[in-house]
Structure 1
Amino acid sequence: MSSHALIRPAWTPATIGLMVVGFMIYWPLGLAMIAYILWGDRLETFRHDVNRSTDRFFGGLKRSGAGMPFATPRTGNVAFDDWRETELARLDAERRRLMEASAEFEAYARELRRAKDQEEFDRFMASRRSNAAGPSNTTIDG
């Protein structure tokens, strides 16, 4: 069944479910779903865009193998499966190491920005103090 049959401007179980979920998450989403159910057939381009988006989304889930999100299918070759699990574990450790390095760099860059901002602020305050001290000695004739 394609998304054209699931999400259409009619009182189908899918649209009613989306409406209820919309109200649970944020009430304007539920109202938007009711508006789509009632007047969606008048919005031909909107309907085509929604259908194309949902087709793309569900197609991406199918291609990514979202049916088994936490397990990889076994091939039947024990040696290959063991090697693959070892490589995936190694890649996962490498990914974690890279994420830690990224977090360290972000903290370093944040500290550099803070130090630069502090230096600019100190320079501003020093120039403000020197400007404030200079004009107060002069009098304005009027």
Structure 2
Amino acid sequence: MDTATLNSPSSMGNSASGFFARTTAWLDARGRGAWIAAMVASYVVFWPVGLAMTAYMVVNNKFSGGGSSKCCRRGSHSIHMNRATGNAAFDTYKDETLRRLEEEQTNFEEFLERLREAKDKAEFDQFMDERGGQRKSDTTDDVAR
């Protein structure tokens, strides 16, 4: 490549964005600690850069350590918890315990659903009884007139 191509504005923009993309990928590969260390270092070097880096980290959710926050979401814990430890007895115990807990959770959720349905039915029956009582008194008043 000649120097005119290297110094053109389009190639300089690409190299700058390439630098940031490479740096972001490098920090992502090393985790949340690398992001925090880079942020602290940028504050030491020049505080406005540190402030900009903090804003970037907040906007792009870099404080959560990448994908590690997903393990705390409901239903995805089994993906991270099912890694083998190498101890067959413990792995069997862990798998059985997780299966039992998931079964208990399912049973409890079904119980809560039945409880909600029973409460809704009781409220509806009470409403219908009150409404029926109003209708009877309305018809009684009409007959009495």
Instruction: Please report the TM-score for the alignment, with normalisation by the length of structure 1.
Output: 0.48
Higher helix share: 2
Per the normalisation by structure 2, the TM-score is: 0.47
Of structures 1 and 2, the one with the larger relative CO (CA 8 A, separation 6+) is 1
